[in-house]
Amino acid sequence: MGTRLSASAQPTRRGAIRPGAHQVHRHGPRRLAALLLAVLTCLITVSCGVPLDSPAPGEDEVLAYVRGACPTEEFELVSTEELQSLPQQVRYTFRSMERDLTFTATSEINEASYTLLPRGPYPSISCDYAHEVRVRYQDAAEATLRGALAKRAPETCSYLDRNGLTLFCGYTDIDAVIDAATEAGAVYDPELAYNTADWIRENIAIDLAAAWVPEGENLADPDTWELVGDRFALGKTFDAGTARSSIAAGYAQLVADGIAPEDPDLPEELLAGRHRRVIPAITVDGDRIPFAFDAVGDSISYADGNPYQRAYVSSGDPIACRWNDERERYEVLVDSGRIDGSWSEGAGTARRFKPGSWLITQMCRLTGGTASEKAGFSWSARGIAGEIVAGDGDIPFKIVANRIRDDQGSWFSGLLDAVDDDFDIDLPNDSGVWTGQVMSYVDVAEFAGLFDMSYRIDEEAGVLELTSR
């Protein structure tokens, strides 16, 4: 009879904290120095590794590791085989004492790797218990999910094994998706005799990952998919109500964004209070600012100085304006300058801030104003003079605007600080020089005020309309 290890025989790891033990962490100078020393030691150890001829982790360590991978089922060690002597690799074969199940663990010295952080030879243990349990159910769970969808909504729902996605076309399909997921989750019920519902969720269950597809489109074409909601593992821990709410909310947002068409079956309360997240266009008295998002292909030229195309390529969203849930307002994405820097060994990084704005220049062009980069960046339009000046702290630039004095001698002034500073920084090239564009989100009302204009958001059309007062 081989070595047996029951669920109650759980080894205690060295340095383990007793349940309920109270820990106090103090981060004074000595502790910080010790922490830095520990990190340095760890990096040196990782980089150098262990000798290649070191023995692989032994049987006791393997048994402790396997107990962690197989926490509740009794098993026994039935055989040990050295697969390789240098570097050493040993395979341990285990058998469940509760059912017909065999699995293995591998103890080995891994050879050096040369990735971003070079790593010398190192010991490791792996175990395929979860995999062996997973393959017992996966085909049946996927077949059940696929069959249940075909039975409930054959024309508008589908399950893609390769991607693990459940596709649907409209609001009325969501119930079919949830019912099918619940039915497929029952496939894992027999495993509860050996493992907990939480272990099943974390280790072996397939997920419900929903994606909306326009009706009539090829369901297998990934370009048509729009992921909605969170991912939910199937099984006893699957909460149908939570999953349904998550998918429905995600689908409603697609409708609000204009990505999915209006759905007469979608309850109004799901749309109430939702705003289109991305506004891709701005007009000035009816004339469009030429962001030219539609012209962006696999490779584009930035010769015209339009930073919004670059941001589009980076983010995947054609953002001229966005809705901010936290602040409950729309915000315009404003470019305010560039950061130029250079790096050389021993000298560190030097930065140079150059104010400027492609967007404000376009606004001046459409409002009959002027913009200049001769001394910093300044503009004048519709009776307001403004400039972009150096900021302080984490804000590299500020926009300052003043109404030109009228006959009554009244003044208007406003200071716009960057709400968020999003740096679109190029990777250093061979010369060690890099440039970065500063783009910040500014309250749409404040942005319109820079040009003494009123504004309106046409969410359905996806346009911020700026109009002369």
- Contact yes or no for 383/468 (Cβ under 8 A): no
- Give me the pLDDT at residue 233, please: 96
DSSP state string for 196-215: -HHHHHHHTPPEEEEEE--T
Amino acid at 458: D
Distance CA 233, CA 396 (A): 45
Question: Which pLDDT value is given to residue 8?
Answer: 42
Q: What is the pLDDT of residue 310?
A: 77
pLDDT in tens, 409-432: 444 445 554 444 444 444 344 445
Q: What is the DSSP letter of 116?
A: S
- DSSP letter string, 22-43: -------HHHHHHHHHHHHHHH
Q: Which residue has the higher pLDDT, 438 or 368?
A: 368
Is residue 205 scored above 60 in pLDDT? Answer: yes
pLDDT attached to residue 29: 42
Nearest of 96, 89, 99 to residue 70 by alpha carbon: 96
| Whole-angstrom distance, CA of residue 197 vs CA of residue 344 | 55
Predicted pLDDT at 296: 59
Whether 196 and 128 have beta carbons less than 8 Å apart is answered as no
Cis peptide before 51 (omega within 30 of 0): no
Mean pLDDT of 347-373: 85
d(CA 202, CA 189) in angstroms, rounded, equals 15
pTM, two decimals, is: 0.75
DSSP letter string, 141-208: HHHHHHHHHHHH-TTTEEEETTTTEEEE-STTHHHHHHHHHHHHHGGGGGGGGTS-HHHHHHHTPPEE
d(CA 10, CA 63): 9
- What would the mean pLDDT of 333-337 be, rounded to a whole number? 88
Lowest mean pLDDT among 103-117, 164-178, 371-385: 103-117
Continuous segment of H or E residues that includes residue 315: helix 307-315
> Is the per-residue pLDDT at 272 higher than 80?
yes
Residue-averaged pLDDT of the chain: 82
Give residue 126's pLDDT.
Answer: 97
Express each pLDDT in 350-360 by its tens digit: 567 788 899 99
Q: What pLDDT is stored for residue 348 in this prediction? A: 55
- At residue 223, the pLDDT reads 82
Region 173-181 average pLDDT: 97
Above 70 in pLDDT, residue 465?
Answer: yes
- More confident call, 297 vs 463: 463
Q: How far apart are CA 274 and CA 67, in angstroms?
A: 49
Among candidates 280, 296, 288, which has minimal Cα distance to 363? 288
Q: Are 170 and 263 in contact (CB under 8 A)?
A: yes
Tell whether the model's pLDDT for residue 408 goes beyond 60. no
Mean pLDDT of 237-256: 97
Of the listed ranges 96-100, 113-117, 228-232, 388-392, the one predicted with least confidence: 113-117
Confidence at residue 150, expressed as pLDDT on a 0 to 100 scale: 94
In this structure, what token pair is assigned to residue 269? 């309360």
Quick check: 462 pLDDT over 70?
A: yes
Summarised one tens digit per residue, pLDDT across range 52-92 is 999 999 999 999 999 999 999 999 999 999 999 999 999 99
Out of 20-34, 135-149, 151-165, which region has the weakest mean confidence (pLDDT)? 20-34
Is pLDDT of 35 > 90?
A: no
* Whole-number pLDDT of residue 115: 59
The pLDDT of residue 241 is above 90: yes
Provide the percentage of residues in the chain whose pLDDT is more than 90: 56
Would you place residue 148 in the very low, low, confident or very high pLDDT band (cuts 50, 70, 90)? very high
* Bigger pLDDT: 452 vs 136: 136
Q: Give the residue extent of every domain in the chain.
A: 40-127, 132-271, 278-468
pLDDT, greater one: 17 or 49: 49
